[in-house]
Amino acid sequence: MIKLTKINSIFRVKDGSELQLVIRSIRKSRISILGIIIVAILILMGLFGPLLVSNTPYEMDIDDRLATPSLEAPFGKDEFGRDIFTRVLYGLRISLTVGIVVVSISGTIGVFLGLVAGYYGGISDSLIMRLTDIILAFPGLVLALAVAAAIGPNIINVMLILSFTWWTSYARIVRGEVLSIREEDYVTAAKVMGVKDWTVTFRHVLPNVIGPIVVFATLQMSYAILAEASLSFLGVGLRPPEPSLGVIINGGKEFLRVAPHVSALSGFVIMLLVLGFNLLGDGLRDSLDPKMRRI
């Protein structure tokens, strides 16, 4: 006979709602905590940093060109003598805005189309999934480059291009989840009670696919930030003198030998931002999946 206490210690069952379990699990995961801290600090810097610095990102100081980091200018100065730290703070704002807007728009489109494709099936499914196949067949960044070059490089266009090409992944994820959830008894039970298909989709199916969507959205934040920086670096996103992180790195590349801090420090901030969101996304994935969750 195995003692009951031993069984209890193996299967330590704790009660609490799903949300409480997730929060508890996030608290125990060092990776998630690290991700949350990095992301929180960078978001706070982007939100309030520009209010706290005294200079603007466009202020030039010809005497101080390519100055190395100092107490006065923690990240040094660029080729026009602009304070890189100030520019990075403004750049963070741009990066985060792009990330949030792209994730919101592409998420909304993708989740909606994925729900329709998965739940209703048939022709709507074929049409939506073939459309995603077509869009996924283009190399993303090259498509964005081409379109940005065609309709003009500015921040609105960058966000629109990314949003309208990136919803496909959401659609695929959501469709896959919905295909299994729509067969669940509670979905049929709702239909038995006379609930309309439309209501069933949004009230019964959608809340059950939120987990994977949240994880993917978090990870996609970092892709969107990287993509904006890449496009700006290549000259089809934001243009100089806008303080996008990509623009700052691009400005510094001419002077890599004499003043590596220009590109390196702003590049490091991008890396931190992306790392933060990736850690958070990975942690969330583990915490939202009951099988991976360490209780």
Partner 1 sequence: MTNPLLKINDLKTYFHTYNGIVKAVDGVTFELGKGQTLGIVGESGCGKSVTSRSILRLIESPGKIESGSIHYKDSNLLTLSESEMNSIRGKEISLIFQDPLTSLNPVMKVGDQISEAIGLHFDMSKQETQEKAKKMLDLVGIPSSEERYYDYPFTFSGGMRQRLVIASALSCDPSILIADEPTTNLDVTTQAQILDLLSDLKSRLGMSIILITHNLGVVAWLCEYVAVMYAGRIVEYGPVKEIFKNPQHPYTSALMECLITSDTSSQVDSIPGMIPDLINPPSGCRFHPRCNHAFDRCLSDDPRLFTYDKKRDYACWLKE
Residues that bind partner 1 (CB under 8 A): 15, 17-18, 121-122, 184-186, 188-196, 203-204, 207-208, 210
Nearer to partner 1, 104 or 188 (CB): 188
State the nearest-atom distance from the C-beta of 204 to partner 1, in Å: 5
Nearer to partner 1, 125 or 228 (CB): 125
State the nearest-atom distance from the C-beta of 190 to partner 1, in Å: 7
Kindly report the number of other CB atoms within 10 A of residue 267's CB atom.
Answer: 18
Environment class of residue 168 by beta-carbon count within 10 Å: exposed (0-12), middle (13-18) or buried (19+)? buried
Q: What single-letter amino acid sits at 51?
A: L
Nearer to partner 1, 134 or 189 (CB): 189
Note if the bond before 212 is cis, omega within 30 degrees. Answer: no
Nearer to partner 1, 152 or 207 (CB): 207
Nearer to partner 1, 156 or 292 (CB): 292
Burial 61-100 (b: 16+ CB within 10 A, else e): eeebebbeeeeebebbbbebbbbbbbbbbbbbbbbbebbb
State the nearest-atom distance from the C-beta of 163 to partner 1, in Å: 28
State the nearest-atom distance from the C-beta of 43 to partner 1, in Å: 28
State the nearest-atom distance from the C-beta of 184 to partner 1, in Å: 6
Torsion 70-72-77-80 (CA) sign: negative
